[in-house]
């Protein structure tokens, strides 16, 4: 797993004086009548690994292609390193891209593919050879240097594409689903390598993915996209713990969503009555919504405690139900508990002790249980 | 390319099932399997057998004639194999016809001229056809088919008619001449008829589709993201064309060039109708030997020599293709 990076801890986006490396302002892209990207504004800072996360077809690649210069925005502007990119062709941008389809040159060897970018800049031959060798070493492709792309496996091709986009040491690297074709082990390894590279070369990454786990691992910040719009931007933990909408809460990780009515709204807490829950939520954060407004409460499965005994305390933040389903996943177990209202709630619990050792006291099917959670755990969203 | 599934595959699967259930088919296919002949051998084998038969048999006949002597009468050549008496077969081989080809500069000049005309025409076809094919391949899907159709449209009329039409277009009374005369640009009508230029125009016009179609097929399936990748790595469009598009379209260039070059070398109709008396091409020499001089043995030797001349580029094509297969699979 990637460790938090010093840059990430510096959090330049919190500093209003910081100059963004990439500034996207109200960019819209239309294909005919179809709006692929709608009014996107983003600031991406030097040294960030910024992940664009969203469902298939939500406009991630299109946004990336506008940064690379393959598509012109229908509206809005893009600045890279303080320069307005309007009308600047791809071959003059300080940007390299790794394509979703790799786009390796089929008539060139791995080595020639990787060297291509340097050749365009008229780098001396000896230096090209040296840098290509070093890069192939980095992506562990040295034994394949003389092969053509069709003689490689999917994962190897992906690494060639990565090497080719890295060789020029661009200031801004755009990666479109860089790790999709890799197996889980190699994927984690390459994620780690990417983070290392980023530290070593000081490159700013914009990474497109629809794998939320990958985004969580890699990103300094995540931009969640939905139907061409950026719906939330934040650090992985911001996005996970404080989603700003039902869509984000639902998209990142799994969540139990309850529709409810705001019955008490104070600056430091709210109380929501949820018919589906058959009870009330007491949430220790304020909400900006009119009284009696319809809101949604998002509760993560791992933040719910499941027990046979009735929890102590008052009536809020607990509910009774019957275990309908249990799935044992090794590192954790998933419980589906049916409430009196008919609603099913998902709970995950880490398997701290071995299952066999606790089989007698383990909660099983059809048992009556109590669910409870902390007041700080639920998140109230208004849209 | 991923095969497009859907109705056609379903249809084929249905057809196959139906054929399998058909008794005689089963019997035949079982027998074939006993002999080690599969369906693939069969579908490849039968056409090849056909081609081989109708290439080889005439070839052998012509080759035989080329080794014999002229004589008056029908057929106008001596037989090569003769029964000397009832048991002994006499074979009389006469290589003089081939020697004659080397001696008389007419033939050498005709061969060289044919190759020159074919090569220049091929180059002209490539120069005109490549941008055309490229343009068609890069236009929107709705226009593409129409443009392709227009390229193939001349095939709807007879080849001979189209060449005849050029006589009218290149002659003294052509519409061009009349237009130029009436505009006062020229005061004497110009006739291109019976010149080498007319032959080039005729060949390039007639064979252009054979250049455009393979090139189009090649350029159309090229992945545009490759050019984007090149641009992304700092390559300007012209250079991207030279380093990416051109090498990748090599199989199309080779296929198109051979489809133009090979028939153009042996072209008879176009030089006969449009060319002058001195535009000596081997096809014409061949015709004259056969039908004017009635010297079949020499004519056959000319034909065999031309075939050998064409086999070389075909073999080279095979070699180049085999290499390209390695690149593209
Ligand atoms: N050239 C184009 N013409 C018309 N529509 C397009 C074009 N390119 C993309 N689109 C549409 O724009 C939308 C966004 O496409 P995009 O490729 O950006 O999706 P994506 O988020 O990258 O999806 P994925 O995760 O599947 O790669 C899609 O609905 C797509 O059909
Ligand atoms: Mg995409």
β-bridge pairing A344-350 and A332-339: antiparallel
Give A115's contacts (C-beta < 8 A, 6+ positions apart). A128, A129, A132, A167
**Which of A68-72, A110-114, A268-272, B4-8 shows the lowest mean pLDDT across its residues?**
B4-8
Q: Compute the residue count for chain B.
A: 329
| Angle at CA of residue B32, ends B29 and B38, nearest 5° | 85
Q: A-chain residues within 8 Å CB-CB of B323?
A: none
A59 Cα: distance to centroid of ligand 1 (angstroms): 5
From CA A92, how far away is CA A173, in angstroms rounded? 14
Residue B33's alpha-carbon distances to B26, B28, B38, B39, B122, in angstroms, are 10, 9, 6, 9, 47
Q: What per-residue confidence (pLDDT) applies to A90? A: 92
CA atoms of A152 and A324, how far apart (whole Å): 48
pLDDT in tens, B117-135: 999 999 999 999 999 999 9
What residues pack around ion ligand 2 (CB closer than 5 A)? A 61
Does one domain contain both A31 and A152?
A: yes
The reply to whether A2 falls in a domain is no
Nearest CA to ligand 1 atom 2: A31
Question: Is the CB of A61 within 6 Å of ligand 1?
Answer: yes
Closest CA to A51 of A178, A166, A157: A178
Q: How confident is the model at residue A75, as a pLDDT?
A: 92
Secondary structure string (H, E, C) spanning B236-302: CHHHHHHHHHHHHCHHHHHHHHHHHHHHHHCCCHHHHHHCCCCCCCHHHHHHHHHHHCCCHHHHHHH
- Considering CB atoms only, which of A95, A99, A107 is closest to B229? A99
Number of domains in chain A: 2
Position B209 scores a pLDDT of 94
Domain span holding position A183:
7-246
Q: Kindly list the distances between the CA atom of residue A129 and the CA atoms of A80, A125, A134, in Å, as whole numbers in the listed order.
A: 30, 6, 9
The bridge status of strand A368-373 relative to strand B89-91 is: unpaired
Q: How confident is the model at residue A105 (pLDDT cuts 50, 70, 90)?
A: very high
| Contact in structure between A362 and A375 (CB atoms under 8 Å) | no
Neighbours of B283 (CB within 10 A): 22
Q: Give the ligand with the smallest distance to the CA of A53.
A: 1
Q: Domain holding A60: CATH number?
A: 3.40.50.300
- β strands within chain A, DSSP E: 22-31, 34-44, 49-54, 75-80, 83-84, 95-98, 172-176, 204-209, 221-226, 229-234, 256-266, 269-274, 279-283, 294-299, 304-307, 318-328, 332-339, 344-350, 368-373, 379-381
pLDDT, position B7: 54
pLDDT of residue A126: 94
Take residue A206 and report the two structure tokens written for it.
């914009």
* Confidence check: pLDDT of A9 > 70: no
Predicted local distance difference test score (pLDDT) of residue B232? 93
Domain boundary among A217, A246, A275: A246
Q: Which two tokens stand for residue B165?
A: 């039409």
Q: Are residues A35 and A159 in the same domain?
A: yes
Polymer length of chain A:
383
Same domain, A229 and A291: no
Choosing from A224, A246, A268, the residue where a domain stops is A246
Token look-up 């003294």 returns: B172
User: Of A212, A246, A280, which residue sits at a domain end?
Assistant: A246
> Which of B158, B133, B151 lies closest to B221 in space, CA to CA?
B133
The Cα diameter of chain A in Å comes to: 76
Residues A22 and A80 in one domain: yes
Q: Answer yes or no: do A66 and A159 share one domain.
A: yes
Predicted ipTM of the assembly: 0.80
A103: closest chain B residue by CA: B226
Residue A1 within a domain:
no
Q: Which residue has the higher pLDDT, B4 or A318?
A: A318
Domain-embedded: residue A235: yes
| DSSP label of B14 | H
Closest ligand 1 atom to Cα of A62: 18
Note the pLDDT of residue A8.
44
Among B186, B198, B49, B179, CA closest to B121: B198
Rounded to whole angstroms, the Cα distance separating A239 from A216 reads 9
Q: Assess whether the previous peptide bond of B90 is cis (omega < 30° from 0).
A: no
Mean pLDDT score, A31-44: 92
Which residue carries 């006969």 as its tokens?
B272
CA angle in degrees (0–180, nearest 5) for A87-A95-A25: 55
Tell me which of A30, A32, A36, A74 to substitute to probe ligand 1's pocket, judged by most ligand atoms within 8 Å of the beta carbon: A36
With residue B91 as reference, give the H or E element that holds it. strand B89-91
A152 belongs to a structural domain:
yes
Give CA–CA dist B61/B297, Å, rounded: 11
Q: pTM of the predicted model, to two decimals?
A: 0.78
Specify the residue for token string 């190759």: B115
Q: What is the pLDDT of residue A37?
A: 92
Q: Which residue pairs from A77-86 have beta carbons closer than 8 angstroms and sit at least 24 positions apart in sequence? A: A77/A24, A77/A25, A77/A26, A77/A27, A78/A22, A78/A23, A78/A24, A78/A25, A78/A27, A79/A20, A79/A22, A79/A23, A79/A25, A80/A21, A80/A22, A80/A172, A81/A21, A81/A171, A81/A172, A82/A19
- CA of A48 from ligand 2 middle (Å) equals 21
Q: Average of pLDDT values for A64-84?
A: 92
Q: What is the pLDDT of residue A169?
A: 86
Angstrom distance (rounded) from CA A36 to CA A309? 52
Looking from the CA of residue A37, the nearest atom of ligand 1 is 14
Beta partners for residue A344, in sequence order? A338
Place of tokens 């054929």: B19
Contacts of B230 in chain A (CB under 8 A): 105, 116
Buried b (16+ CB within 10 A) or exposed e, B213-223: bbbbbbbeebb
How wide is the angle at C-alpha B8 spanned by C-alphas B3 and B9, nearest 5°? 60
- Contact residues, chain A, for B223 at CB < 8 Å: 101, 103
- The domains found in chain B, sorted by start residue, are 96-327 (1.10.3720.10)
Query: Is there a single domain that holds both residue A238 and residue A276?
Result: no
Residues A239 and A272 in one domain: no
Same domain, A221 and A335: no
For B231, the closest chain A residue by CA position comes to: A91
Q: Is the CB of A31 under 6 A from ligand 1?
A: yes
Rounded to 10 deg, the angle between the B105-138 and B296-328 helix axes is 30
Bridge partners (DSSP) listed for residue B197: none
pLDDT, residue A1, reads 43
pLDDT of residue A121 exceeding 70: yes
Ligand 1, atom 31, residue with closest C-alpha: A57
Query: Which pLDDT value is given to residue B329?
Result: 44
Provide the pairing of β-strand A368-373 with A344-350.
unpaired
Residue A263 lies in a domain: yes
Token pair of B85 as six digits:
């008496």
Q: Do A197 and A271 fall within a single domain?
A: no
pLDDT of A109 > 90? The answer is yes
Please check whether residues A197 and A297 belong to one and the same domain: no
Angle, vertex CA B69, rays to CA B64 and CA B73, nearest 5: 100
If you average pLDDT over residues A260-282, what whole number do you get? 84
Full pLDDT tens readout for chain B, 329 residues: 344 445 556 666 776 777 666 677 777 777 777 777 777 888 888 888 998 888 888 888 888 888 888 777 777 777 777 766 767 676 777 788 888 888 888 888 888 899 999 999 999 999 999 999 999 999 988 899 899 999 988 888 888 899 989 988 888 888 888 888 888 888 888 888 888 899 999 999 999 999 999 999 999 999 999 999 999 999 999 999 999 999 999 989 988 998 999 889 888 889 888 888 777 888 888 888 888 888 888 889 888 888 887 887 678 777 877 776 555 54
Residue A251 domain-assigned (yes or no) = no
In terms of domains, do A275 and A240 share one? no
Task: Give CA–CA dist B312/B305, Å, rounded.
Answer: 11
For the range B12-18, what are the long-range contacts, defined as Cβ-Cβ under 8 Å and sequence gap of 24 or more? none
Same domain, A186 and A62: yes
- For residue A377, the model assigns a pLDDT of 86
Tell me the per-residue pLDDT of A81-97, one tens digit each, with 9 for 90 and over: 888 988 889 999 989 99
Residue A98 lies in a domain: yes
d(CA A233, CA A221): 7
Residue A314 sits in a domain whose CATH number is 2.40.50.140
Closest residue, chain B, to A69 (C-alpha): B232
- Nearest-angstrom CA–CA distance, B180 and B186: 6
Q: How near does any CA of chain B get to the CA of A77, in Å?
A: 19
- Is there a contact between A120 and A167 (Cβ–Cβ < 8 Å)? no
């Amino acid at each position: 797993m990637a460790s938090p990076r010093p840059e990430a801890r510096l959090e330049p986006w919190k500093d209003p004086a910081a100059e963004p490396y990439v500034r996207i302002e109200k960019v819209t892209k239309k294909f005919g009548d179809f709006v692929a990207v709608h009014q996107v504004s983003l600031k991406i800072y030097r040294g960030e690994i910024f992940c664009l996360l969203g469902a298939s077809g939500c406009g991630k690649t299109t946004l990336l292609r506008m940064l690379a210069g393959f598509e012109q925005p229908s509206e809005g502007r893009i600045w890279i390193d303080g320069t307005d990119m309007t009308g600047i062709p791809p071959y003059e941008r300080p940007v390299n891209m790794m394509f979703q389809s790799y786009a390796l040159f089929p008539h060139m060897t791995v080595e020639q593919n990787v060297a291509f970018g340097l050749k365009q800049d008229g780098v001396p031959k000896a230096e090209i050879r040296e840098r290509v060798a070093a890069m192939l070493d980095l992506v562990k492709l040295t034994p394949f240097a003389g092969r053509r792309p069709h003689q490689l496996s999917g994962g190897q091709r992906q690494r060639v594409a990565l090497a080719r986009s890295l060789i020029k040491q661009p200031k801004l690297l755009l990666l479109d689903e860089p790790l999709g074709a890799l197996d889980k082990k190699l994927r984690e390894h390459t994620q780690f390598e990417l983070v290392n590279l980023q530290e070593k070369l000081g490159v700013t990454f914009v990474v497109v993915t629809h794998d939320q786990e990958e985004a969580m691992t890699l990103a300094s910040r995540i931009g969640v996209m939905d139907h061409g719009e950026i719906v939330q931007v934040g650090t992985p933990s911001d996005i996970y713990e404080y989603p700003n909408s039902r869509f984000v809460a639902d998209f990142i990780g799994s969540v139990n969503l309850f529709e409810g009515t705001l019955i008490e709204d104070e600056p430091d807490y709210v109380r929501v009555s949820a018919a589906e829950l058959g009870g009330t939520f007491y949430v220790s954060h304020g909400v900006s919504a009119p009284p009696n407004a319809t809101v949604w409460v998002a509760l993560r499965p791992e933040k719910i405690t499941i027990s046979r005994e009735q929890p102590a305390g008052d009536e809020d933040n607990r509910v009774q139900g019957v275990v309908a389903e249990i799935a044992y996943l090794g590192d954790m177990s998933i419980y589906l508990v049916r409430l009196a209202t008919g609603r099913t709630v998902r709970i995950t619990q880490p398997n701290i002790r071995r299952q066999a050792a606790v089989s007698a006291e383990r909660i099983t099917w059809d048992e009556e249980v109590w669910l409870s959670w902390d007041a700080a755990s639920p998140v109230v969203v208004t849209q | 390319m991923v095969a497009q599934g859907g109705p056609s595959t379903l249809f084929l699967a249905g057809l196959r099932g139906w054929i399998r259930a058909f008794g005689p088919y089963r019997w035949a296919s079982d027998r074939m399997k006993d002999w080690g002949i599969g369906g693939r051998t069969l579908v490849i084998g039968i056409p090849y057998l056909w081609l081989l038969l109708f290439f080889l048999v005439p070839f052998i006949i012509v080759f035989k004639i080329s080794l014999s002597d002229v004589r008056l009468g029908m057929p106008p050549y001596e037989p090569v194999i003769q029964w000397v008496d009832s048991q002994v077969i006499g074979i009389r081989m006469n290589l003089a016809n081939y020697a004659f080809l080397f001696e008389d500069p007419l033939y050498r000049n005709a061969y060289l001229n044919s190759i020159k005309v074919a090569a220049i025409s091929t180059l002209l076809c490539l120069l005109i056809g490549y941008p055309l094919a490229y343009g068609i391949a890069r236009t929107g899907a709705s226009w593409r088919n129409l443009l392709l159709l227009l390229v193939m449209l001349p095939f709807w009329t007879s080849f001979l008619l189209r060449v005849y039409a050029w006589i009218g277009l290149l002659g003294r009374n052509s519409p061009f001449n009349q237009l130029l005369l009436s505009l006062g640009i020229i005061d004497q009508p110009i006739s291109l008829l019976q010149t080498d230029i007319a032959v080039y125009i005729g060949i390039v016009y007639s064979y252009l589709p054979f250049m455009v179609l393979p090139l189009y097929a090649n350029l159309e399936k090229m992945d545009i993201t490759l050019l984007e990748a090149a641009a992304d790595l700092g390559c300007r469009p012209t250079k991207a064309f030279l380093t990416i598009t051109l090498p990748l379209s090599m199989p199309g260039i080779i296929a198109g060039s051979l489809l133009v070059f090979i028939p153009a070398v042996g072209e008879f109709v176009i030089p006969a109708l449009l060319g002058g008396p001195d535009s000596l091409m081997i096809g014409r020499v061949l015709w004259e030997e056969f039908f004017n001089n009635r010297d079949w043995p020499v004519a056959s030797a000319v034909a065999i020599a031309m075939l050998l001349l064409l086999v070389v580029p075909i073999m080279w094509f095979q070699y180049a293709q085999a290499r390209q297969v390695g690149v593209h699979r």
